[in-house]
A and B are shown apart, each in its own frame.
Chain A
Amino acid sequence: MEVKLDKQYPLDVDADRAWALLSDLKATAGCMPGAEILEQLSDTSYKGAVKVKVGPAVAQFGGTVDVVDTNTENRTVVLRGKGADKGGSSASMDLSAAIVADPTNPAHCVLNGSAAVIVNGKFAQFGGRMMVQVSEMILGQFVENFRQTALTLPAPAGSAAGQSGAAEPTGTTTGAASTTASDAPKIAKEINGLAIFWQLIKGWWQGLFGSRG
């Protein structure tokens, strides 16, 4: 089954730091819950793995990620990922992401992402109905991890670091000491099944009454 996502996430991070993170595939992958880059195969090709857990269903996708295009000027990347799970599922994803500076606030930016995800096999059959909600949930966690990781990066010289610090006081205090993503304490490394479930129930209720109301 195919899921198409088109999302805008405003971030309290300046565009330069956000782009620095986004253009580093390995670090960005580290923000994706359950995902990691295992091996670099070429300049633009990586071997990776993603673990997704929804209630009792666990899928461990192993596959490749190719950076199809990187445009520093526009701050955009285009990625193509393909993978399979040993339990009888496969998935592919075409994703383009962009960092857009916030013209009114140099300490803020917007992360634009659009993705077409195709899932086949058991994961589609069991999770088909929940795909959209689960994807949104995963992306939500990713964006939060992304934001926190970006804030730990060294602020661009003489720029909006001060303002950024003002927006996120803890960021400045720990930011100086920690420079790598793996040290960021709050990053959720695996997708929390229970949280997803709760989110689904919440979404379902809201949908139920939202459409009637």
Chain B
Amino acid sequence: MNAPTDTAEARELALAGMGASRLRKEDARFIQGKGNYVDDLKLPGMLHMDIVRAPVAHARIKKINKEAALAMPGVHAVLTADDLKPLKLHWMPTLAGDVAAVLADEKVHFQMQEVAIVIADDRYIAADAVEAVEVEYEELPVVMDPFEALKPDAPVLREDLAGKTEGAHGKREHHNHIFTWEAGDKAAADAAFDAAPVKVSQHMYYPRVHPCPLETCGCVANFDPIRGELTTHITSQAPHVVRTVVSLLSGIPESKVRIISPDIGGGFGNKVGIYPGYVCAIVASIVLGRPVKWVEDRIENISSTAFARDYHMDGELAATSDGKILGLRVNVVADHGAFDACADPTKFPAGLFHICSGSYDVPAAHASVKGVYTNKAPGGVAYRCSFRVTEAVYLIERMVDVLAQKLGMDKAEIRAKNFIKKEQFPYTSAFGFEYDSGDYHTALQKVLDAVDYKGLRAEQAAKRADPDSPTLMGIGLVTFTEVVGAGPSKMCDILGVGMFDSCEIRVHPTGSAIARMGTITQGQGHQTTYAQIIATELGIPSEVIQVEEGDTSTAPYGLGTYGSRSTPVAGAAIALAARKIHAKAKKIAAHLLEVNEGDLDWEVDRFKVKGDDAKFKTMAEISWAAYNQPPEGLEPGLEAVHYYDPPNFTYPFGIYLCVVDIDRATGETKIRRFYALDDCGTRINPMIIEGQIHGGLTEGFAVAMGQQMPFDAQGNLMGNTLMDYFLPTAVETPKWETDFTVTPSPHHPIGAKGVAESPHVGSIPTFTSAIVDAFSHLGVTHLDMPHSSYRLWKSLREHGAAL
């Protein structure tokens, strides 16, 4: 009845399911230049938008004269806040419960803020017309420092909030204060400190950086005045949320709004928010009845779209004299810029910063984060990390180093002493997180053995003993835990929408399949890896599984891709949708084989009758039967939808070690070795994991060693081009060594935890740890990023280590 077949192992291999290093399906089009990005889209009759931006950081707008611009041939419209006012679109809600100006309304709050838009026949005319718009400013005192902003006599930045003593996150204590958010138990932490024999404290500044994706932000808005439908192609990491927001703002029913995220050239958190440019292009298209394209340039992207970090942190640890941590206290002043537009779950204005007790069993902890307005661009997104987790990991990892230094203990030893032990999982932290699984001791030992840690320390001691050594050698060690996969909707929502995600799978009659997702890939390789999950769950070769994302008219609703949530949330939705199909397939197989379901076994790609290897039905056969001869009482077809609301976050972890050699004459730093062990639970595609880790380490290297957004006292951003802003190429990037352990998540359907952000989160403090370690024998406990050659050269001179 059935032809002889390959062995189960051979068939499993042929599926290219979970665990296979399947080549990326996306690359064929990208390496041939056949990707389809927003800026590739050209529609008939399409107009172009450009933006008039403020040259100053804080000013009153006295007059805008648009006559000269409007008189230019090819210019269709010039719009200012006054034009948007009747539509009530001159301000818009932010993701953080604040409002942000769409176009500057009477006042400019940061340099490069959007003041007016020009719509013209082409990009060049639009750019020329922008120069013809005359704006008269009355300059106001500029506040660039959040500590200055909180002084009693500091200039009032947000006049629109005058008299508002309650913000979205509680009481506002000052006219430039946004919120103060606390987590943990202050009394318990204070008590631990009162009783502790050893206390350390450290101030550190995590500089403002920018995710700087290679593709800048943009959209093509196309309102069809006949049908009353709005289609917008947009660079968004969360197209469904954009649809909801656009519908709410415009009044167009959600069913008539179609948002499409086509190929996205990197997001890293920068493409989560809704920017004035999008809103203006949509308004312009509705007003003019023609498609309008807006694509920002690099300077606009770095200057005005969402930044990350900008946290001024004070950490304190209390410990026993042999290095057991007793308590943690953290105080943060967070510079949020002119509008609070942080992309965080609604209840968490400082994101998941309270993961800052890290991988350690800390009995008592308290954290307080104070958000402040300044004359900088708004943002505060999770740059390749879960919400504010990078800041949290940096804080705790630095503090553990500072404590080790104070006690004269080894960095590895103090960590092993304080780790949450394998048998303590699931572990509830002092901040209330329930860590799902982990085995930190095994992973740490694996790394220490792999790099010959003792040998490295001996080499360092020898170098320190030699006054003529041309370099300072530093060893950085970080043992981090992330919290990703937001999130349980009882805790996490964005604008009231719970942070579930979704998958719809259809198996076609001939046994191939399509999966549609609420997420959107921006380089992660979803089209490759999602198919592998289905291949393993359903026995359908991944080669014949299409994965579609990003079109709100075809995909089920989802919250999108950021905060490492695709695999932990959408990956679970896929597995569970597939299992629904699997259950139906089993019914059909039982019907076809004329046995009870209980008599069937699943093997790779088929149901077999127990005890009779010759009697089976493959998924391909079952698919055909599902449409053409379903059992009586069972509806035809083979498809399922699943919306997954995770019961908990997932907690990937890693052990990173870095060896640096700092040239004592020039401050130049050579990353001699970087060893990254990651545990992301079940591994879906090892090749993609390795690629993601390489990418994340490289971005971490960029942040730690060079990225910064320097402002002068007048609010000019002095580094908003790629001439200044550090994006490492293959030339600067060190060699990476990767390793792994596998500790599956017990609550995730396939045990996966998410990985792409771990290398960014984990590597940044590793570089700082290594740099500071090189100086530690000179009494240095901390050096702020970026660790550029110039800054290190100054440190070398300051501490008498320069040659």
Contacts and interface: CB of A to CB of B under 8 A. Distances in A.
Given A120-B111, A124-B718, A90 B55 contact: yes
A124 B716 CA distance: 7
B53 A128 contact: no
B780 interface: no
Interface stretch (A22-30, A80-88, A157-165): A80-88
Interface string A108-126: 0000000000111110111
Interface string A82-110: 00111111100000000000000000000
B352 interface: no
Given A88-B55, A90-B56, A120 B131 contact: no
B132 A86 contact: yes
Contacts of B720: 125
Given A86-B131, A86-B132, 8 more contacts: A1-B712, A2-B713, A89-B55, A90-B137, A120-B714, A121-B56, A128-B716, A128-B718
B684 interface: no
B70 to A, nearest CB: 15
Nearest to A84: B55
15 contacts: A1-B713, A2-B712, A2-B714, A84-B137, A87-B131, A88-B55, A90-B137, A120-B55, A120-B716, A121-B55, A121-B111, A121-B716, A122-B299, A125-B299, A125-B717
Given A87-B131, A90-B137, A125 B53 contact: no
Majority-rule SS of B interface residues: loop
A121 B113 CA distance: 11
Contacts of A118: 714
A88 B137 CA distance: 12
A29 B131 CA distance: 25
Contacts of B53: 88
Best-surrounded residue of B57, B137, B718, B720 (most CB of chain A within 10 A): B718
A60 to B, nearest CB: 10
Interface in B693-722: 712-718, 720-721
Interface string B132-144: 1010010000000
Interface string A23-54: 00000000000000000000000000000000
A124 B299 CA distance: 13
Contacts of B131: 86-87
B714 A1 contact: yes
Contacts of A120: 55-57, 111, 714-716
Contacts of B57: 120
Instruction: Give chain A's interface residue range (CB within 8 Å of chain B).
Output: 10 to 19
Central interface residue in A2, A90, A121, A125, by most chain B CB within 10 Å? A125
A55 B43 CA distance: 37
B132 A125 contact: no
A120 to B, nearest CB: 5
A85 B299 CA distance: 18
A2 B718 CA distance: 12
Contacts of B299: 122, 125
A2 B714 CA distance: 8
A193 B454 CA distance: 59
A121 B52 CA distance: 12
Q: Top 8 A-B pairs ranked by shortest CB distance? A: A121-B55, A86-B131, A124-B716, A1-B712, A90-B55, A88-B55, A120-B56, A120-B55
A119 B717 CA distance: 12
A87 B53 CA distance: 10
A2 B713 CA distance: 8
Given A86-B131, A87-B131, A128-B712, A1 B55 contact: no
A123 to B, nearest CB: 8
Interface string B285-309: 0000000000000010000000000
A1 B57 CA distance: 12
Given A88-B55, A90-B137, A125 B714 contact: no
Contacts of A122: 55, 299
A160 to B, nearest CB: 45
Contacts of B713: 1-2
Nearest to B719: A125
Contacts of A125: 299, 716-718, 720-721
B723 to A, nearest CB: 9
Interface in B244-302: 299
Interface in B372-388: none
Contacts of A84: 55, 137
Contacts of A124: 712, 714, 716, 718
Contacts of A90: 55-56, 137
A108 B737 CA distance: 72
A121 B712 CA distance: 11
Nearest to B68: A86
Nearest to B133: A86
B666 to A, nearest CB: 13
A52 to B, nearest CB: 15
A130 to B, nearest CB: 12
Contacts of A1: 712-714, 716, 718
B142 to A, nearest CB: 9
Contacts of A85: 55
B477 to A, nearest CB: 37
Nearest to B135: A84
Nearest to A118: B714
A84 B57 CA distance: 14
Contacts of A89: 55
